[in-house]
C-alpha cells in the first residue's frame, strides 16, 4: 500500500526526488542529474525538471545525500577553550570572519562549535566522528587538549589554527609568532630603549611561548641578558594585560619599553601605564601583537605586529580542503610571515 504513494503522493512532508520526477515526467536519476548539475542531461529535460523543482519548492534532503556520498559539505570551526570570554577576543572574531569569507565562494557551510571542558570536547568528537562534518579547523588549544588526538585517530580531516604545543604531527597554519615577536623587540631596542620588557600570553599556549621566545632571542642577540624581572604573564585579555603591566612596573620600575603579546593586553597595559603616570611612548614605548581594531582606536594608537589573517584563513581552508579530497601530504603545514605596523606607541 505504500507503493502507490509514489504514483499519487499527496505531498506528505517535504517533496522528494520522486515527486519531482513524476511531475517532470522523467526518472529519479535524471532529476538527480539536474540537481547535481551533471552535463549529461538534455536541455528539455533540464527545463522540465527545473520547473517541477520550482513548483514543488523542492529542497534535496542532505541526510539522504550524505548517506551515499559520504560528504556533508560542512566544516566545523572548533573553539576549544575553557574560558568563555575568548569570544570577545578580536583575534578569534577575525578568524571566524576570515574562514567564513574564504568559504563564501564555495558550497561549504561553516559551523562553530565550542568546547569548554573535557565533556564538551567528547561531545564534539562524537559529533565529528558521526559524520556531521567533512573536516575540522581547531582553534586555541592549550597544552593538553584531547581533540587533536581523538580527531586524528578517528580519521577526521583536521587543521589546527596555531602550531601544536608538542611537536605532534598534525597539519596546522600559524603566524610566525616568534619572528614577529623578535622584530617587535628589535624595533624597541633599535629605538634606543635599554630596558625592554615583555608581557607574554599564557605559557600553556604555543602562541604565548613563541612570542616570549622571540623576545628572548632578540634580547640575547642584542647582547643583553633576558632579565626575569622584565617578564610578566598575561592571559590575552585586556584586564589581564592591565594587571600584568602593573606587576611589571613593580618588578622593574626602570623599564622604558615593553613588547605586549596581544593588542587587547596592550590596551590594558596602556591603561596601567597611564595610571602609573608614564607617558607612551616618551617614557615607555609599547608594541602590541595582532593589529586588532583596538590598536587603531587606542590612545596612543598602537605600534603592533600584524598577522596576515586573510592569508592564514585562506590557507586554513585550502589545506583542509586538500585533506578532505584526499590529496594532501601528511601533516602539511604553513607558517605565515608577520609584519610590523608602526603607529604612535613606539
Point out which residues bind DNA (CB under 7 A): 2-3, 5, 13, 16-18, 25-30, 32-33, 35-36, 39-42, 44-45, 58, 60-61, 64-65, 67-69
**Residue among 27, 32, 74, 122 that touches a second copy (CB under 8 A):** 74
Which of a second copy, DNA, none sits in contact with 111, Cβ below 5 to 8 A by type? a second copy
Q: Please, are residues 138 and 147 in contact by the beta-carbon 8 Å criterion?
A: yes
Which of a second copy, DNA, none sits in contact with 41, Cβ below 5 to 8 A by type? DNA
* Shortest Å, Cβ 242 to a second copy: 9
Q: Dihedral sign for Cα 25, 30, 36, 37, please.
A: negative
Which of DNA, a second copy, none sits in contact with 227, Cβ below 5 to 8 A by type? none
Q: Which of residues 131-160 bind a second copy (CB under 8 A)?
A: 131-132, 155
What is the rounded distance in angstroms from the CA atom of residue 88 to the CA atom of residue 91? 9
* Shortest Å, Cβ 122 to a second copy: 11
Q: What is the DSSP letter of 88?
A: G
Of the candidates 264, 326, 272, 273, the residue with the CA atom closest to the CA atom of residue 298: 264
Looking up cell 573553539 gives: 79
What is the rounded distance in angstroms from the CA atom of residue 79 to the CA atom of residue 138? 6
- Phi-psi sector, 63: left (phi>0), alpha (psi -120 to 50), beta: alpha
Taking CB under 8 A as the rule, does residue 280 contact a second copy? no
Taking CB under 8 A as the rule, does residue 85 contact a second copy? yes
* Lookup: cell for 247: 606587576
Q: Please, are residues 15 and 6 in contact by the beta-carbon 8 Å criterion?
A: no
Taking CB under 8 A as the rule, does residue 327 contact a second copy? no
Q: Checking DSSP bridges between strand 109-115 and strand 158-161, what pairing results, if any? A: unpaired
* Closer residue to DNA (CB): 17 or 141: 17
**Residue among 87, 274, 283, 344 that touches a second copy (CB under 8 A):** 87
Residues in the interface with a second copy (CB under 8 A) total: 45
**Residue among 109, 152, 251, 335 that touches a second copy (CB under 8 A):** 109
Which residues are CB-neighbours of 81 under 8 A, at least 6 positions away? 114, 115, 116, 139, 140, 141, 142
Which residue ranges make up the site for a second copy (CB under 8 A)?
Answer: 14, 59-64, 66-67, 72, 74, 76, 84-85, 87-90, 92-93, 96-97, 100, 104, 109-114, 116, 119-120, 123-124, 126-127, 129-132, 155, 239, 293, 297
Amino acid at each position: 500500500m505504500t507503493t502507490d504513494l509514489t504514483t499519487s503522493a499527496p505531498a506528505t512532508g517535504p517533496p522528494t526526488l520522486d515527486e519531482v520526477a513524476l511531475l517532470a515526467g522523467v526518472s529519479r536519476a535524471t532529476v538527480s542529474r539536474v540537481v547535481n548539475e551533471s552535463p549529461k542531461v538534455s536541455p528539455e529535460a533540464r527545463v522540465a525538471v527545473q520547473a517541477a523543482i520550482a513548483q514543488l519548492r523542492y529542497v534535496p534532503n542532505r541526510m539522504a545525500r550524505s548517506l551515499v556520498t559520504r560528504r556533508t559539505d560542512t566544516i566545523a570551526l572548533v573553539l576549544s577553550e575553557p574560558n568563555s570570554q575568548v569570544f570577545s577576543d578580536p583575534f578569534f572574531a577575525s578568524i571566524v570572519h576570515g574562514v567564513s569569507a574564504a568559504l563564501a565562494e564555495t558550497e561549504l557551510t561553516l559551523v562553530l562549535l565550542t568546547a569548554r571542558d573535557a565533556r564538551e570536547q567528547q561531545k564534539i568528537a562524537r559529533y565529528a566522528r558521526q559524520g556531521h562534518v567533512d573536516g575540522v579547523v581547531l582553534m586555541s588549544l592549550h597544552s593538553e587538549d584531547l581533540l587533536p588526538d581523538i580527531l586524528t585517530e578517528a580519521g577526521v580531516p583536521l587543521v589546527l589554527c596555531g602550531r601544536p604545543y608538542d611537536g605532534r604531527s598534525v597539519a596546522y597554519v600559524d603566524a610566525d609568532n616568534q619572528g614577529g615577536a623578535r622584530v617587535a623587540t628589535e624595533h624597541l631596542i633599535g629605538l634606543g630603549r635599554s630596558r625592554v620588557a615583555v608581557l607574554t600570553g599564557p605559557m600553556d599556549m604555543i602562541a604565548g611561548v613563541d612570542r616570549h621566545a622571540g623576545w628572548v632571542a632578540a634580547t640575547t642577540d642584542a647582547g643583553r641578558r633576558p632579565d626575569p624581572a622584565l617578564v610578566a604573564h598575561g592571559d590575552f585579555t585586556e584586564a589581564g594585560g592591565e594587571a600584568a603591566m602593573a606587576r611589571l612596573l613593580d618588578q622593574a620600575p626602570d623599564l622604558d619599553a615593553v613588547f605586549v603579546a596581544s593588542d587587547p593586553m596592550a590596551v590594558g597595559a596602556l591603561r596601567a601605564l597611564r595610571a602609573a603616570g608614564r607617558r607612551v611612548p616618551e617614557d615607555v614605548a609599547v608594541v602590541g601583537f595582532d593589529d586588532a581594531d583596538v590598536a587603531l582606536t587606542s590612545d596612543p594608537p598602537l605600534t603592533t605586529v600584524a598577522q596576515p589573517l586573510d592569508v592564514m584563513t585562506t590557507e586554513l581552508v585550502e589545506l583542509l580542503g586538500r585533506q578532505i579530497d584526499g590529496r594532501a601530504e601528511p601533516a602539511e603545514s604553513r607558517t605565515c610571515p608577520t609584519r610590523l605596523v608602526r603607529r604612535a606607541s613606539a
